[in-house]
Structure 1
Amino acid sequence: MAVVHAPRPLTGAVLLLFVSAAWGSAFPLMKDLIHRLPVEDLLAERYLIAALTLWLIRPRSLRGLSRGTWFNGVLLGVMFGVGQTAQALALSDLPSSVSGFAVGCNVIITPVMALFLFKVKVPVRVWAGVILALAGMTMFTLLKGVEDHHISLVALGGTLTAAALYSGHTILLARMTRSRSHQYNPYSVTVVQLGTIGVLTGFMALPGGISTPGSLGDWVILAHLSVVSCALGFLARSFGQAHVPAVPSAVLMSSQPLWVAAIAVVFFHEPLGWSLFVGGGLMAAAMLLAVPSKGGASPPSSEVPLSGPPPEANRRLLELTRRRLADLRDKRDDQVQCADALPLPVVARSACADVVDCPWKEPKSVKEPTFDRMMDRATRIVRSKKQDGCCHVKCLCALMEERSPAMSRFRTP
């Protein structure tokens, strides 16, 4: 099973830009196809075909998954599926420009949600990218003009709710990719969530019956929407977010309006406008600011995930202990002066016959050794290396062989 390991921010950025382009290419095609196919039917068929395609390519992708993976995959699918349904239902009561801007607000909702829910600290330059992305979004939507259309507050609220669900989807996926409680398999997670979205939207479409495309051209459009935009797009996102944290991911994927405008100019011969150049420049600057450096690709500790890892204080203590023990181990013998050693008890060789009698062994009543006490013991053992009559070897073995969970955390590799 393909498991993502070390973060590669540039690779992740390229994959997320592909996601943005794939989803951007779907907009003009869906806008054309919904005139001949109900939107509920289109969504259900699109996601079910995408899930089935990925499953047929790798039929074993759903075997052996943990319950946590199933739960998170279904939760991701429910969040995105409800968002898609709410956005689609509200579209009839909103101008497309207003709907596009409201959905694009997830670029600002994502960092705010991550900050308040999980205390994720966002770098200043990424905040700058968020602001530039929102400005570029405004150029591509609201500043192009709002059609003479009644704006329903209920529809607007539904679309903003969809944007919040998309933000939650991005944050949950980012946290899931970094969970140490199980291995993250992007392919399997993609199949699970696509299948969940397909089933959810299918239930929405059932009351009126499910219609299928009536011409070969419409089937080709549906194939592109299913395979390229959904299957490959979601798969690229599942891999890409393993390398890029949630907030930069939202900025990179917010470039959809830029791709929509570019496709409209190239394939539908729409005229170039000043909004394309200004908005495109703002989007490009936002993406450059959002791409994390290689050293900063890992998320802050607060974004590291749902379960499994020890507390941050224990990790820091473990790292400090390892460094200190490594320093003591690597000191040259001529730098170890017995005169500088701590007062040592006089121990006869016969006392070392039984390791239980080691003079530095921790009392049985002490269950949780403190850092200072452990360092004191280790320092005295190391410094007594050349002293005659010292049983430091057996004492050190006794120290390292203790089976208590607390001591096992402090062992050097």
Structure 2
Amino acid sequence: MSAYQSVLKGDNESTVASLVLVLVTLLAAMGWIFSKETIAGLPPLLFIGLRFLLSSALIAPFCRNSLKRMNGRHLALSIRIGLAQSVALMVWIMAISNSSSLGEGAFIASTAMILVPLLGRILYSERIPRPTLLALPVTIAGLALLSLRASWQFEISQALYLIAAFGIALQFVFTSRDGRSIPSNALTFVQFSTVAVCCLLASAAMEEWDLTNVPMNIWLWFLASAVIATAVRYFLLVWCQKRLDSGPAAVIMTLEPLWTALMSAFWLSESLTSLQTVGCGLIMAALFIARRR
């Protein structure tokens, strides 16, 4: 294959990965709704633990060959990614359980994508692409407008979302940097298993379990969360992260709060102000800036 053909192949793969990552953000937004509905009948940490336990079981049959190709270093890196994700998810689900607005929470959590290239620079001395640098202030301005209300009161959920954002960013950087050499199936399985163990242990220590009186509709929401918003989404996410630089991928991930706000408006009757609508437009503009060649 000539050098020119290699470049074209790389460009096509990057474009496909970018489009799949947009789908990932849509599935992630659906996960916010699924999670909010599920924790109405299940303890939050137990829900996360069971969700990832079921998801790891679903993908286990597809991971045998890839798990055999893993070495000790791959396993350690995968567990580290899973630990970062565990902390982020435990804080995130506690934020959702204390939050009065999923849309606002999604925008706060999406600041993780602003932290990604900065953490990549600090931890691995990665060069921040110039288009990403140009897109970052536009993204920040859009998020600022989206956070405005007629009156603003600090809530514990807002602090929890910010803490979760750091964990999400750290997991994203670890996956983009260290996950490239690890088979996607194996990485996803170990990652899910780590989250399941951590969350179930935390739940056993902090929550009371009573699954006998859980309504059937709660279990249906739980299944949607485990299968659609977890197993399918994270497999696609890992596939994308191994094919995209962390900076541009991080900006694409800012679509998640946009989808979440729209779904929250439809399902939970939340609404966006005119300033927040302008903020959405700024974030969309940032996406085009970041993807400019």
Normalised-by-shorter TM-score class = 0.7 to 0.9
Taking structure 1 as reference, are residues 261 and 102 closer, same or farther at Cα in structure 2, changes over 3 Å only? closer
The runs of 5 or more residues in structure 1 that have no matched partner are: 294-413
Q: Which residue of 1 aligns with 2:40?
A: 35
**Counterpart-to-counterpart distance in 2, 1:255 and 1:108:** 13
**Residue number among 187, 190, 204 corresponding to 2:188 in the alignment:** 190
Using the TM superposition, give the Cα deviation of residue 217 of structure 1 relative to its aligned residue in structure 2, in angstroms: 1.9
The 3-state SS of whatever aligns with 2:148 is helix
Partner of 1:361: none
Instruction: Please show how residues 8-407 of structure 1 align to structure 2 within 5 Å.
Output: 8-90=13-95, 96=101, 99-140=105-146, 142-144=147-149, 151-152=155-156, 158-178=160-180, 183-207=181-205, 208-212=207-211, 214-267=214-267, 273-275=273-275, 277-291=277-291, 293=293
* Structure 2 CA distance for partners of 1:219 and 1:79, relative to 1, 3 Å: same
Contact kept in structure 1, 2:131 and 2:291, CA below 8 Å: no
Distance 1:221 1:184 in 2: 32
- Residues 223 and 206 of structure 1, relative CA distance in 2, 3 Å threshold: same
- In 2 relative to 1, CA 31–204 (structure 1 residues): closer, same or farther, beyond 3 Å? same
Asked whether the 8 Å contact 2:37–2:221 carries over to 1, the reply is: no
The structural deviation recorded for 1:156 is 5.7
Structure 2 Cα separation of the partners of residues 131 and 14 of structure 1 = 23
Q: 1:34 to 1:60 in 2, by over 3 A?
A: same
User: Structure 1 counterpart of 2:168, which letter?
Assistant: Y
Counterparts of 1:171 and 1:135 in 2: how far apart (Å)? Answer: 23
User: Residues 102 and 233 from structure 1, CA distance in 2 versus in 1: closer, same or farther, beyond 3 angstroms?
Assistant: same
CA distance in 2, matches of 1:34, 1:232: 21
* CA 1:275–1:28: 2 relative to 1, 3 Å: farther
Which of the two has greater helix per residue? Answer: 2
Percent identity between matched residues is: 19
Residues in 2 aligned to 1:77 and 1:39: alpha-carbon distance in whole angstroms = 18
CA distance in 2, matches of 1:54, 1:275: 42
**Larger of the two Rg values belongs to structure:** 1
Please report the TM-score for the alignment, with normalisation by the length of structure 2.
Answer: 0.84
Deviation string, structure 1 residues 232-284 (Cα, Å, up to 9, x no partner): 11111111012211122221112211101222345566667535642332222
Distance 1:279 1:64 in 2: 45
Distance 1:217 1:47 in 2: 19
Counterpart CA distance in 1 for 2:18 and 2:149 is 28
Q: Is the 1:73–1:193 Cα contact (8 Å) retained in structure 2?
A: yes
Provide the rounded CA distance (Å) in 2 between the counterparts of 1:83 and 1:219.
23
The number of residues matched between the two structures is 281
* 1:249 partner letter: A
**Whole-angstrom CA distance in 1 between matches of 2:134 and 2:128:** 10
Alignment gaps of 5+ in structure 2: 1-8
Distance, in Å, in 1 between the alignment partners of 2:238 and 2:197 is 20
CA distance in 2, matches of 1:58, 1:119: 33
Letter in 2 for 1:124: R
Asked if the contact 2:49–2:200 (Cα under 8 Å) also holds between the matched residues in 1, the reply is yes
- Distance in 2 between residues matched to 1:64 and 1:238, nearest whole Å: 17
Q: Which secondary structure state, in structure 2, belongs to the residue aligned with residue 65 of structure 1?
A: coil
| CA-atom RMSD in angstroms | 2.8
- TM-score by length of structure 1 reads 0.61
Residue range with higher mean Cα deviation, 256-265 or 14-23:
256-265
Q: Look up the SS of the partner of 1:82 in the other structure.
A: helix
Q: Offset at 1:159?
A: 4.0
Distance 1:292 1:198 in 2: 39
Question: What whole-Å deviation, never above 9, does each CA across 1:87-124 have from its counterpart, x for those lacking one?
Answer: 33355666646644442221222222222222222222
Cα distance in 2 for residues equivalent to 1:222 and 1:145: 35
Residues 277/91 of structure 1: CA separation in 2 closer, same or farther (3 Å cut): closer
Provide the C-alpha distance between the structure 1 equivalents of 2:282 and 2:61, rounded to a whole number of angstroms. 41
Q: Which amino acid in structure 2 is aligned with residue 163 of structure 1?
A: A
Aligned in 2, Cα 1:271/1:203: closer, same or farther, shift over 3 Å? Answer: closer
Bigger RCO (CA 8 Å, 6+ sep): 2
